[in-house]
Amino acid sequence: MSPSDLVLGRVSEGVREPHPGRTTIDREPDYLHDEHTLRSWLGSTDHKRIGILYLLSITFFFIIGACAAGLIRLSLVVPNGQIFSNDTYNKLFTIHGVVMVWFFLIPSIPATFGNFIMPIMIGAKDVAFPRLNRTSWYIFMTGAFFTLFTVVVGGVDTGWTFYAPFSTTFSNTWVVPALIGVIVVGFSSILTGLNFIVTIHTMRAPGMTWFRMPIFVWTMYATSLIFLLATPVITIALILLVMERAFHIGVFDPALGGDPVLFEHLFWFYSHPAVYIMVLPGMGVISEIVPAFAQKKLFGYRFVAYASIGLASLTFFVWGHHMFVNGESETSAVVFSVLSFAVAVPSAVKVYNWTATIYKGSLKLDTPMLYAMGYIGLFVVGGLTGLFLATLAVDEHVHDTYFVVAHFHYIMVGGTALAFLGGLHYWWPKFTGRMYPEALGRLSAFFIFIGFNTTFFPQFLLGYLGMPRRYHNYPPEFQLLNILSSAGSVVLALGYLFPMFYLTWSLRYGKRAPANPWNAKGLEWTTSSPPPKHNFETPPTVDFEPYDYIAREDRV
């Protein structure tokens, strides 16, 4: 397929400095040390600073969502729901869902690594529309403000799915501000996606052809397509909810002449692709980490690139699998079922190709690689349980039970969150110019993996036993498994807290990072750590293939 990479793989001199001297005077200051005022951060149009702003804001939201999750697990230790009132519990899982989905998972990798790394990977000075990029973050924070307002004044209890007519007519909580928060954040996603697509199309460095782009860039492209094509549909659906709730313009409530199933269609037309907004970037991150730590070319590069675009396209045709038991016609159920099975193919391609990349590599099991391996394991389990759910007769039993909860947490935590943490450790030296403590990093990966499985594996059993989601009054026979799950969540929480502390610690006391600590390939490792304000000392010209790790016999 691609020409052998033994001969190529040299960047023109003057770009690749293995250890750029940090003391030379004629270098321009890097993006972190350029200016220090708060104003210089909040007014910055530099994609790297905006990426860091996103990193801070989604970390904040992750903490909120995780606290809600902790309280949910606390409540579920006892079967009779004595710890919180029913309404409080409902508000907790709603906040957990809304915050984690729209304010952590969806922006997590695209808005942070996508903003920071992607333009450097293609050798651009910045994204195509830097001011729009800054605006996206402000829009994000506006949506965040509405959501926080909702939490502070008393919460919302519709579940993150906002199903009508409950959300439009029957709920007595702050539904409209919550909806506005999500609508506004949707615009932030749309603008980010638009910016990325235009950047990838128009800002590539000379020589950076489509098939020289790292897979991470490909997944960013695929994700941005979903941002552009799916987000407006939920925007309109939520606008219709607001219209119905505030002005009684009935579209969904049968009492106002509407149709509740219509909302389910519009909602899942976005929210299924949204899962791939969460998954694809994770796949991109893993496709960067695995070759770097195996020191070997990514196996089947083109296949993986096509699989990313294929997934992004297929994901638009499976939304009906969320509605097998709402009386949808048998024909459409069967069609959506078989299409959902088809999604497994591109996903499987990636897993096989990562495995084949490791084969005959030269492996270093550092923290990012541990996260990546954890990711592969959890993603496979999550994906295959997705196939169970796509099987009609199985879904008739486990739809809306803890089986579903376990399945999508395997995808979202096992997929997105682990990839996010893996990528965070992988690019941390590039972001900050500092190394994190390796031993603690490995420990955190281990804790998260163990804690996660202890938390969520019992939920597969609970689901098959028939414990419905969103219940905190549950039959006493389910208590043991719930206690096990809650115990696991404590370990998981520890695993999350670790990186927060030692990464913060490393900002000040960590070892100074060289330009390329992992001996990895790709343009982002050819510039200094942290990168200069315009990413490169001299604009790069690309004359090498992606992942041109040198294969050497019996490399030691």
Partner 1 sequence: MSGTVAHLNTGPTAEVGLEREEHFTTDGQQIHAAKFGLWCWLLTELLLFAGLFLTALVLRIMHPQAVTEVAKHLKFWIGATNTAVLIVSSFTMSGAIELSRLGWQRGMVRCMLATAALGSLFLVLKGYEYYEDWDEHMMPFLSSRPYVLTQDPSSRLFTDLYYITTGLHGLHLLTGVSILLVMTWMASRPGFLGRRQNRIEIFGLYWHFIDLIWIIVFPVLYVLNR
Partner 2 sequence: MNGQSPGPSDYPLLLWPQAASADAVQSDHLIWSFTLLTLVLTVPIFLSIAWFAFHFRAGKEAHRQYSDKRSRLLEVSWMLIPFLLTLGFFYWGAKLFDRHKHAPANALRIEAIGRQWMWKFQHPGGQAEINDLHVPTGQPILINMISQDVIHALYLPALRIQMETLPGRYTQLWFKADKPGVYRLYCSEYCGTDHSKMDGLLTIMTPTDYSNWLRRSGNSTSLASQGKMLFSSYGCAGCHDQGSVVRAPSLAGLFGSPVPLEAGGTLIAGDGYIRDKILYPDHNLIAGYKQVMPSFKGVVQEGDLVLLTAYIKSLPAPGAAGSTPGPEKTQ
| Contact set for partner 1, span 433-462 (CB under 8 A) | none
Nearest to 49 by CA among 131, 115, 123: 115
State both tokens at 478: 């389910």
Nearest to 369 by CA among 260, 273, 472, 293: 293
Supply the minimum distance, in Å, between the C-beta of residue 50 and partner 1. Answer: 13
Bridge partners (DSSP) listed for residue 532: 30
Supply the minimum distance, in Å, between the C-beta of residue 405 and partner 1. Answer: 28
The item of partner 1, partner 2, none sharing an interface with residue 190, based on CB under 5 to 8 Å by kind, is: partner 1
In the window 61-80, what residues touch partner 2 (CB under 8 A)? 79-80
Taking CB under 8 A as the rule, does residue 332 contact partner 2? no
Considering only 240, 275, 493, 542, the residue that binds partner 1 (CB under 8 A) is: 240
Decide: 308 and 219 in contact? Cβ < 8 Å: yes
The item of partner 1, partner 2, none sharing an interface with residue 393, based on CB under 5 to 8 Å by kind, is: partner 2
Taking CB under 8 A as the rule, does residue 481 contact partner 2? yes
Compare residues 165 and 193 and give the one whose CB is closer to partner 2: 165
- The position carrying tokens 């005959």 is 360
State both tokens at 115: 């903003």
Fill in the amino acid letter for 23: T
- The position carrying tokens 């219940």 is 471
Considering only 70, 81, 130, 437, the residue that binds partner 1 (CB under 8 A) is: 130
The CA distance from 285 to 217, in Å, is: 10
Taking CB under 8 A as the rule, does residue 317 contact partner 2? no
The CA distance from 113 to 58, in Å, is: 12
DSSP state of 99: I
Taking CB under 8 A as the rule, does residue 207 contact partner 1? no
- The position carrying tokens 């552009």 is 228
The item of partner 2, partner 1, none sharing an interface with residue 125, based on CB under 5 to 8 Å by kind, is: partner 1
Taking CB under 8 A as the rule, does residue 217 contact partner 1? no
At 473 the three-state DSSP class reads strand
Supply the minimum distance, in Å, between the C-beta of residue 56 and partner 1. Answer: 24
Segment contacting partner 2 by CB under 8 A, of 122-130, 133-141, 386-394, 412-420: 386-394
Nearest to 122 by CA among 20, 247, 212: 212
The CA distance from 286 to 302, in Å, is: 16
The CA distance from 361 to 344, in Å, is: 27
Segment contacting partner 2 by CB under 8 A, of 19-27, 50-58, 101-109, 330-338: 330-338
In the window 153-192, what residues touch partner 1 (CB under 8 A)? 190
Angle at 27 between CA 22 and CA 31, to 5 degrees: 85
Considering only 400, 446, 511, 534, the residue that binds partner 2 (CB under 8 A) is: 400
The item of partner 2, partner 1, none sharing an interface with residue 471, based on CB under 5 to 8 Å by kind, is: partner 2
The CA distance from 102 to 143, in Å, is: 10
Supply the minimum distance, in Å, between the C-beta of residue 215 and partner 2. Answer: 17
Q: Within 10 A of 326 (CB to CB), how many other CB atoms are there?
A: 13
Taking CB under 8 A as the rule, does residue 43 contact partner 1? no
Bridge partners (DSSP) listed for residue 473: 80
> How long a stretch of residues is the chain?
556
Q: Within 10 A of 199 (CB to CB), how many other CB atoms are there?
A: 26
State both tokens at 154: 């008393």
In the window 534-553, what residues touch partner 2 (CB under 8 A)? 551-553
Taking CB under 8 A as the rule, does residue 257 contact partner 1? yes
Q: Within 10 A of 395 (CB to CB), how many other CB atoms are there?
A: 22
Compare residues 196 and 447 and give the one whose CB is closer to partner 1: 196
Decide: 131 and 77 in contact? Cβ < 8 Å: no
Supply the minimum distance, in Å, between the C-beta of residue 198 and partner 1. Answer: 5
Supply the minimum distance, in Å, between the C-beta of residue 35 and partner 2. Answer: 41
Supply the minimum distance, in Å, between the C-beta of residue 16 and partner 2. Answer: 22
Compare residues 235 and 308 and give the one whose CB is closer to partner 1: 235
- The position carrying tokens 């492209």 is 221
In the window 357-386, what residues touch partner 1 (CB under 8 A)? none
Taking CB under 8 A as the rule, does residue 396 contact partner 2? yes
Size of the site for partner 2 (CB under 8 A): 96
Interface residues toward partner 1, by CB under 8 A:
124-126, 128-130, 132, 190, 193-195, 197-198, 201-203, 228-233, 235-237, 239-240, 243, 247-251, 254, 256-259, 262, 266, 269, 534, 539
